[in-house]
Amino acid sequence: MKNCLRLASLRSVGVVLALVGLMTVGFWVLVQPASHVAKAGTDATTALGDPLPNLTALETQMFGQGALTFGKDWDALGGLGPVFTQLGCQMCHATPVNGGAGTAATISTLFGKINTDGSFNPLTNEGGIVLQPGTNQHFIANCKLKGEVVPPDATIVAKHQAPPLFGAGLIDNIPDSQILANAVDKGLGIRGVANQVTDENGNPRVGHFGLKAQAADLLQFSALAMQHEMGITNPISPNEDLPQGKPFPPACSKDTEPNDNGTQMVAIYHFVVYLAPNPPGLPNANGQAKFISVGCDHCHIPPGTPSSYTTSPSAIVPVVYNGRTIVSRALSSQPVNLYSDLLLHDMGGADGDGIVMSLATGTQWRTAPLWGLSIKLSHGIGLLHDGSAPDVPSALVRHGGEASTVISNFNALSPQDQTDLIAFISSL
């Protein structure tokens, strides 16, 4: 049973999450995660895995409810399956605390093939695009159903690793217009493009989430993950996945559709939308200067620059699905120091996976946010989309395509400057 949150959106060309929890602010305090790591975000008292500072009592309660449901193991009575990748969100997003990254043990498998006309085929009729090896056969005595396997006609098989979710609410509230403003020629052969997708209301949007920016917003990301990762159907993603593309025995799935009326979907969204961002990087003046001089900043935009992002002045958060909303001061007009333009860039064949999602080709990726990179490195979490790069130098050599000139500039640096640049990136 391997796979991860951010892949959920893939099957419908989208991604991520799930569930319900708590009652009062006081009760939430009792269930706070015990393992805090480093110091994060915009408040010196905020530890990794904590909520954003300056939440209201209502927002704190919503975060606590979501924390419980995010950490829940699902079963068939709750709507799990009939096939799935994991039993709960936390199984892929738990390093070093809930909301964190996936590891090699929870790597996801995607598959598809290229049609004779050159177009990409996600093999939906054979269970694609995400492999769901888990099955309710393990939990329901009269359910006879095998987990999915990669079909023999799949010519593309890719591995994806779940990214950390810290600061996702800030990313969610970056206006589309700011991202589009960076989709220009930056020089050095670099020009990012926005992945144009459709949100949960059918509106065209700029993709914010997923390794290929295939999900428009965090609520959609959460709903798609619930359904495609755990088989929990919901108002945004209401149709059960067919194992290997074929009908499944009725006994293998909960009768009520959708499995969740939106309550648990919104609860998971609340946990992730209020997660504080990663700790800031440590100072390294020369490494930071070289980061800019070689051109890393063309895609990985540093904080405080004219191209960096700020959240909407009125960040709206739904309290319930299709109902009451609030404006969150904690999420409004906040700097988003993620070191990413959130645009698609062609990285060349060495780092391609062959998977197409909306406008993203098999060699294009959303610029990976670098905030929190030090957390990943210190916990042995690999870099790049498949987690195969153990450190920054290993990731750099896989940068091709639009990054070719930047890598040439890096290679031309003195050994000391290279060391300082790697140290700066590794500290973020």
Query: What residues does 111 pair with on adjacent strands?
Result: 157
Structural domain that includes position 136: 5-283+311-339+372-388
Within a domain: 402: no
pTM for this one?
A: 0.89
Q: Which of 194, 201, 239 is nearest to 220 (CA)?
A: 201
- Using DSSP's 3-state secondary structure scheme, residue 240 falls into coil
How far apart CA 11 and CA 227 sit, in angstroms, is 10
Does some domain include residue 299? no
| Both structure tokens of 244 | 């290997």
Give pLDDT tens digits along the chain (428 positions): 444 433 333 343 333 333 333 333 333 333 333 333 333 334 445 788 999 999 999 999 999 999 999 999 999 988 999 999 999 999 889 899 999 888 888 889 999 999 999 999 999 999 999 999 999 998 898 999 999 999 999 999 999 998 899 999 999 999 999 999 999 999 999 999 999 999 999 999 999 999 999 999 999 999 999 999 999 999 999 999 999 999 999 899 887 889 999 999 999 999 999 999 987 777 789 999 999 999 999 999 999 999 999 999 999 999 999 999 999 999 999 999 999 999 999 999 888 999 999 999 999 999 999 999 999 999 999 999 999 999 999 999 999 999 999 999 999 999 999 999 999 999 99
- Residue 358 included in any domain: no
Q: Are strands 204-206 and 196-198 parallel, antiparallel or unpaired?
A: antiparallel
Count of domains in the chain? 1
Radius of gyration of the chain from its Cα atoms, rounded to whole angstroms: 21
